[in-house]
């Protein structure tokens, strides 16, 4: 009895260890926000004659280099703030050039500190573009998709303060953006977004050109910009607008194609894979029961039936849990890995075990009867 008890404790301990090791549920939000970028906010002294957006996407659709250039016309001479910039959660640096000369960029302070430019003085020329929310801050609303808009406050914006001559100037902005990620499915869907909402409050809107260049193999992404001038998705695509697009935002979306092995596994799914594995274990268990009975025909109980009835349902459920990780591994870096509390499937173990045990007991009883009957003959 002590040997049996020790063996039972060992089996249960191993089973619990396997469950704990597999219980790595990821219940984080399936939607991961990326870089929030938008058109510049313009001063009342500035006419924006043209905005050019160049987006260079890497070969994996994991980052994109944004180069945004504004052609502006200034009505006043002297030190001033022509544009405010809204960009959040970008990679590395946010760089600005004025007429091909780099300029220093500042964050607008949350509260005025001694010696700092006050928010009121910074925003004195932006009353047409930003709404006042309190004595120290202004805000603007940016639209990211059909259902999402977000309010950004002055302390989330950036500015530069050059000496401008009257006339035309070029301002270029560069930064690297992260994609937004939709992890609802097995494979992550990536999209880069850019809000055009601030352009609604520009003193004037000239023209807009958007260029998207892909690195590496051409990917069949989709966009809300309509048909590109090239007619279809190419290595480089361009769009031209003489007025603000109706959507007020730009979205480039791409969902990678799974490899051939991943397609096979996704066709079966965790349920199908667990079913195939379950049939294999059932047949293996049946073979061991038969082999045991050939040399133990007179024994009333079969330890092979008992042990197998405990282990087979458990390993089927355990394989079901691990099959998610197997599929994610085969998909690779684009796997979403958002599957919820899949380890909770183990709660069905006490329900499945008695049914399976009775089934195998009946099968063993039938095998024993046949073997004894043949022996008598």
User: Within 13 A of 289's CA, how many CA atoms are on the CB side?
Assistant: 25
Which pLDDT belongs to residue 143?
Answer: 67
- Domain segments of the chain as ranges: 2-28+259-376, 33-254
Residue length of the chain: 377
If you search the block for the tokens 């935002």, which residue do you land on? 249
DSSP code string of 38-99: BPPEEPTTEEEEEEEEEEEE-TTSS-EEEEEEEEEEESS-EE---EEEEEES-EEEEEEEET
Which pLDDT belongs to residue 186?
Answer: 94
Which pLDDT belongs to residue 259?
Answer: 92
Which pLDDT belongs to residue 139?
Answer: 63
Contact 140, 130 (CB under 8 A): yes
Per-block mean pLDDT, blocks of 10 residues, the chain (377 long): 51 56 59 87 84 94 94 85 84 90 81 50 60 57 67 74 87 94 92 88 86 92 90 92 86 93 94 95 93 82 89 93 93 87 83 92 86 66
Phi and psi, residue 43, nearest 5°? -75, 155
Which pLDDT belongs to residue 293?
Answer: 85
**Statement: 33-254 belongs to CATH 2.60.40:** yes
H helices present in the chain, as ranges: 2-22, 119-123, 260-295, 303-331, 349-376
Which pLDDT belongs to residue 375?
Answer: 62
Written as six digits, the tokens of 258 are: 């799974």
Which pLDDT belongs to residue 108?
Answer: 75
Contact 69, 171 (CB under 8 A): yes
Name the β-bridge partners of 247: none
Which pLDDT belongs to residue 249?
Answer: 87
């Amino acid at each position: 009895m002590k040997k049996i008890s020790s063996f039972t404790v060992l089996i249960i301990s191993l089973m619990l260890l396997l469950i704990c090791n597999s219980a790595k549920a990821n219940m984080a939000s399936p939607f991961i926000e990326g870089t929030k970028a938008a058109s510049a906010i313009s001063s009342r002294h500035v006419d924006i004659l043209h905005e050019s957006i160049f987006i260079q996407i890497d070969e994996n659709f994991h980052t994109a280099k944004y180069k945004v250039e504004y052609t502006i016309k200034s009505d006043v001479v002297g030190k001033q703030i022509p544009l405010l910039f809204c960009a959040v959660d970008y990679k590395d640096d946010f760089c600005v050039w004025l007429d091909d000369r780099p300029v220093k960029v500042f964050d607008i302070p949350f509260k005025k500190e001694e010696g700092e430019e006050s928010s009121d003085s910074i925003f004195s020329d932006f009353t047409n573009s930003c709404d006042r929310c309190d004595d120290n801050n202004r805000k603007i609303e940016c639209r990211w998709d059909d259902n999402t808009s977000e309010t950004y406050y002055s302390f989330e914006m950036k500015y530069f303060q050059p000496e401008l001559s009257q006339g035309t100037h070029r301002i270029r902005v560069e930064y690297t953006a992260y994609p937004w990620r939709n992890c609802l499915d097995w494979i992550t869907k990536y999209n880069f977004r850019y809000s055009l909402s601030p352009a609604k409050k520009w003193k004037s809107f000239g023209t807009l050109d958007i260029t998207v260049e892909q690195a590496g193999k051409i990917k069949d992404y989709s966009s809300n910009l309509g048909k590109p001038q090239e007619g279809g998705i190419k290595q480089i695509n361009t769009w031209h607008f003489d007025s603000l697009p109706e959507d007020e935002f730009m979205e480039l979306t791409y969902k990678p194609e799974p490899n051939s092995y991943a397609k096979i596994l996704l066709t079966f799914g965790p349920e199908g894979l667990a079913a195939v594995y379950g049939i294999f274990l059932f047949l293996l268990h049946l073979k061991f029961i038969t082999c045991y009975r050939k040399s133990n025909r007179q024994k009333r109980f079969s330890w092979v039936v008992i042990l197998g009835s405990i282990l087979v349902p458990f390993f089927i459920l355990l394989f079901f849990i691990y099959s998610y990780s197997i599929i994610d591994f085969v998909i690779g870096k684009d796997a979403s890995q958002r599957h919820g509390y899949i380890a909770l499937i183990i709660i069905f173990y006490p329900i499945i075990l008695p049914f399976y045990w009775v089934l195998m007991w009946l099968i063993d009883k039938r095998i024993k009867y046949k073997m004894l009957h043949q022996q008598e003959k």
